[in-house]
Structure 1
Amino acid sequence: MKQEQFVARHQGEWEALEAWLQQRAHLRARKRARVAADPALPADAEFPQRYRRLCQQLALARQRGYSPQLVERLQQLMQRGHTLLYRTPAFRWRSVLEFLFADFPHLVRSQATVMWVALALFAVPLVASFVLVQLHPDLIHLLMDSARVAQMERMYDPSSPNLGRDSGTDWMMFGYYIMNNISIGLRTFASGLLAGVGTVIVLLFNGISIGAVAGHLQHVGHGDPFWRFVVGHGAFELTAIVIAGGAGLQLGMRLVAPGRKRRIDALVEGGRIGARLCLGIAAMLLVAAFIEAFWSSIAAVPAWGKYSVAAVLWSLVGLWLWRGGRGEAQHAD
């Protein structure tokens, strides 16, 4: 085929592709402002196919020895298309917000059974150990050593200027809380690989420990500082631990009882669900660490102020997990 025939056959396609690439560059320069698209230009979904045809046409032009000007034109067009097709996608805050406020709570509700089991494994030991330590105060020394008990009493001493910590700036403790909380959440989830037994143990241990500490501090008269400290950030932190437990349990169940799927396929599916849940858990624990560092430790705020804020936080978390993403899910159905 002569060059003139080759150009005549594909000239309209090249011009349309050039105009489309120019429009995309214009939109990107204006941060994708609303600009009316030309209906004569190729749609975004058609671009990969048009790009592949352009590469084939460039290869033919080189193979047949067409003019350097034509080859250079197709080469530049191909490079512009390659840059657009394979560039790193821009970070989209809208996608992040959609995941946190819709996809994540919907995903939590889709795993309702394991979430309720995780809540029971965490809450029942917590309440039981709290009551038992009230009835048998010496039981606290069977659950933790004397040095740890003394430290907890100092941290929640009613005369302390800060609640919940001996020392440290707010920002330093913020970093510490982030690492500590997220490590607990990830450990709770990852333990599900031990056929779910690891997650069960972690939930039971945390429930017993927290309940025993609360019961002891209540018994020795340090209950007011303790409750004023934990009641706020607990809405995010304790809920995140339960969700992490549910994520670990569903992973363990897919390992133990894969159903009709191959065990490896069921485990991969559980890992994907758990990974998405962990993203939301990490966000919750980040919020919890911020509240714990900059709000919970303020001793000057009276009890009614702490409890009022806590009531709002617990209500928001409950409403978020209950209602988040319902409209989108119904629309999708």
Structure 2
Amino acid sequence: MDIDVFVAQHRAEWDRLRYLVRHARKLRGPEADELVALYQRTATHLSIVRSTAPDPALLSKLSSLVAQGRAAVAGSHNPSWREFGLFFSRRFPAALYRARMWWIPVAVAFLLVSGALAAWVATDVSVRGQLATPEEIEQLTAPGGQFESYYSSGPAASFAFDVWTNNVWVSAGALTLGVLLGIPVIVILLANAANVAVAGGMMASVGRLDIFFGLITPHGLLELTAVFVAAGLGLKLGWTVIDPGTRTRSAALAQEGRTVIGVALGLIVVLLISGVIEAFVTPSGLPTAARVGIGVFAEVVFLAYVFVLGRRAARAGETGDIDASQVGASAPATG
């Protein structure tokens, strides 16, 4: 493509868009429609230049103009609170609901694997012997031992932050590393399943399985669900690399990647809630039934959020991706 010819052909449109952007507050009727049309056309010009003749000066000029046009089309007010509300009321729950066929099987497989491993540890003394010495097992499982004291090992606020940070890193890894064909996600899941199974199996071996569930259930339901969601989306991202469907691989990865980033931001809030429960409810003096009830309530609220609000948003056409006006136009393609 001849850059000079391209610029000469479209300079009048760009100048007109620049004029309309400057007077966006005063536009009415046809001029407002013209602003939208010229913004979309210029965004397409930007995509064409990027893909066929990436001239740095022209790219900078068009990028700035498109950004100004987007701001004028979207409105000059700060949309952050509106976007925040839309994200948590529509996009995030819709993304979770649409990905349910990925993370629900992950949850089932995780529970089956960890349950089988826990039963093996609990019933086979030789397995326990390979994992720890009798003294270490005693330190872990005894009343007031390491498993119980862990949840009150530090100030509640500090403990909540540490737990939250760790869980965010685990979930972020499961989400983003899925692009490597999903293999790291499976490794993360197996490691977490083994950790849960060993602790549960050790506690069950000394007849204290009720203590195990009494301590892990309040926060663990929501925490593990967040990990399952992250792993499911990570595997979905990995599968997109293998089979992008009718989209080009780059377009499919871009769309799924944007959704993954959105889900990661939403899960930060979910994991913050589970971290607060783990720090303030799990080690509290509340009766076991009350602590477990709080955990079950949090889980039920989350599932209702996904399967009621998320299903409604998904059926209304929400995909979990960002607004189309914020994506930018794509260059026309054939085939």
- Does residue 184 of structure 1 match 2:170? yes
**Partner in structure 2 of residue 37 of structure 1:** none
Following the alignment from structure 1 to structure 2, what is the Cα–Cα distance between the partners of residues 311 and 268?
Answer: 36
| Residue matched to 1:236 | 222
What does residue range 80-119 of structure 1 map to in structure 2 within 5 Å? 90=78, 92-119=80-107
TM-score by length of 1: 0.67
2:239 corresponding residue in structure 1:
253
How far 1:266 sits from its partner (Å)? 2.5
Cα distance between partner residues in 2 of 1:198 and 1:286: 24
Q: Which amino acid aligns with 2:122?
A: Q
Corresponding position of 2:293 = 308
The one of 109, 112, 121 equivalent to 1:124 is: 112
Q: 1:227 maps to which residue?
A: 213
Provide closer, same or farther for how the CA distance between residues 87 and 93 of structure 1 changes in structure 2, counting only shifts above 3 A. closer
Paired amino acid for 1:306: R
**Partner AA of 1:285 in structure 2:** L
Give the one of 157, 161, 166 matched to 1:171: 157
Task: Choose which of 161, 169, 194 in structure 1 pairs with 2:180.
Answer: 194
User: Does the 8 Å contact 2:103/2:232 carry over to 1?
Assistant: yes
- Amino acid in the other structure paired with 1:123: L
For residue 49 of structure 1, report the CA deviation from its aligned partner: 4.0
Q: CA deviation at 1:100?
A: 2.4
Match of 1:275 in 2: 261
Distance 1:306 1:191 in 2: 34
Distance 1:290 1:254, change over 3 A: same
RMSD value, Cα: 3.7
Q: CA deviation at 1:134?
A: 1.9
SS at match of 2:250: helix
> Taking structure 2 as the reference length, what is the TM-score of the superposition?
0.67
C-alpha contact (below 8 Å) 1:235/1:317 kept by paired residues: no
**How many Å apart are 1:278 and its aligned residue?**
1.1
Deviations 1:49-90 (A, max 9, x none): 49x9xxxxxxxxxxxxxxxxxxxxxxxxxxxx99x9599963
User: In structure 2, do the counterparts of structure 1 residues 231 and 200 end up closer, same or farther at CA, with 3 Å as the change threshold?
Assistant: same
Is 2:295 the partner of 1:319? Answer: no
Q: Any idea what the Cα deviations from partners look like across 1:131-159, whole Å, max 9, x if unmatched?
A: 112221442454578897566436xx348
SS at match of 1:258: coil
Matching residue of 1:10 = none
Gap change, CA 1:255 and 1:90, over 3 Å in 2: same
- Which of structures 1 and 2 has the bigger CA Rg? 1
Is 1:214 matched with 2:200?
yes
The answer as to whether partners of 2:121 and 2:127 remain within 8 angstroms in 1 is yes
- Mark the CA change 1:48 to 1:224 in structure 2 (over 3 Å): closer, same or farther: farther
**Residue 95 and residue 268 in structure 1: after superposition, are their counterparts in 2 closer, same or farther (change >3 A)?**
closer
1:46 maps onto 2:11 in alignment = no
**Cα contact 1:163–1:229 (8 A) shared by 2:** no
| Contact 1:195/1:253 (<8 A) preserved | yes
CA contact 2:97–2:314 (8 Å) conserved in 1 = no
**Structure 1: any 5+ residue segments left out of the alignment?**
1-13, 22-40, 53-80
2-structure distance, mates of 1:158, 1:127: 24
The equivalent of 2:331 in structure 1 is none
SS of aligned partner of 1:296: coil
Structure 1 residues 147 and 115, CA, compared in 2 at 3 Å: closer, same or farther?
farther
**1:201 deviation in Å?**
1.7
**CA positional deviation for 1:301:** 1.2
User: What's the CA shift for 1:98?
Assistant: 3.4
1:141 and 1:275 mapped to 2: Cα distance?
Answer: 43
